[in-house]
């Protein structure tokens, strides 16, 4: 299971996303967004690094000026993640390096996966996601969302996803596909290593 989005992201970014919807309902759409769309665009190695960064983020503490940090320590400061290059100083000074993989993750990748997952969610689950459905008001009685409205909602998410994916690739291009000293390969630029075999026997030339 991919961790590149979560319920909090859906609730913040997706209009009409009910608080009663559970993670299991959207997890397969998150996984599909990552495996079928994101990975072919940015590569398996970078996706793996992003998933590792997402796991790491939860364990990174907020900067405490009373703490003496050792070289290599990571802290969160004003919504960014920094690594200590020396044992002193206050971020974001010269003694700290801002880690760009977390910028890429939070600003572009999580929104992309969320929008793409939401587009699929609206198409495949529709008004019957759970006993409350996708409702158009917050009262006890509600009107289920029509197929036309769901199609419009899905289309809006697809457009936002397309924009977010362009921003992901623009970020990587500006960084020359090198994030925090690690060089990644653009999978859309690599050449095939073997000729396709379609099982067709070539026709022998008619002339010597």
User: Between these two residues, 93 and 104, which has the higher pLDDT value?
Assistant: 104
Three-state DSSP class for residue 123: helix
Q: What count of other Cβ atoms lies within 10 Å of the Cβ of residue 7?
A: 16
Residue 169 has pLDDT above 90, yes or no: yes
C-alpha span between 125 and 47 (Å, rounded) = 27
Q: Model pTM?
A: 0.81
Q: What confidence tens digit (pLDDT) does each residue in 38-57 have?
A: 999 999 999 999 999 999 99
Arithmetic mean of pLDDT over the chain: 84
What is the distance between the alpha carbons of residues 181 and 177, in angstroms, rounded to a whole number? 10
């Amino acid at each position: 299971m991919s961790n590149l989005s979560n319920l909090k992201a859906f609730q913040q970014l997706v209009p009409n996303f009910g608080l009663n919807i559970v993670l299991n309902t959207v997890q397969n759409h998150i996984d599909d967004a990552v495996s079928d769309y994101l990975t072919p665009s940015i590569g398996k190695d970078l996706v793996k690094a992003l998933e590792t960064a997402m796991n790491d983020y939860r364990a990174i503490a907020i900067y405490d000026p009373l703490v003496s940090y050792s070289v290599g320590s990571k802290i969160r400061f004003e919504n960014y993640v920094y690594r200590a290059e020396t044992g002193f100083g206050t971020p974001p000074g010269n003694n700290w390096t801002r880690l760009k993989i977390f910028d890429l993750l939070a600003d572009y990748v999580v929104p992309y996966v969320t929008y793409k997952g939401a587009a699929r969610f609206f198409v495949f689950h529709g008004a019957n996601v759970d006993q409350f459905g996708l409702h158009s008001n917050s009262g006890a009685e509600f009107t289920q969302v029509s197929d036309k409205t769901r199609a419009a909602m899905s289309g809006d998410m697809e457009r936002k996803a397309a924009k977010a994916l362009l921003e992901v690739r623009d970020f990587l291009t500006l960084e020359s596909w090198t994030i925090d000293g690690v060089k990644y390969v653009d999978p859309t630029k690599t050449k095939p290593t073997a000729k396709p075999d379609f099982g067709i026997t070539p026709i022998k030339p008619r002339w010597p």
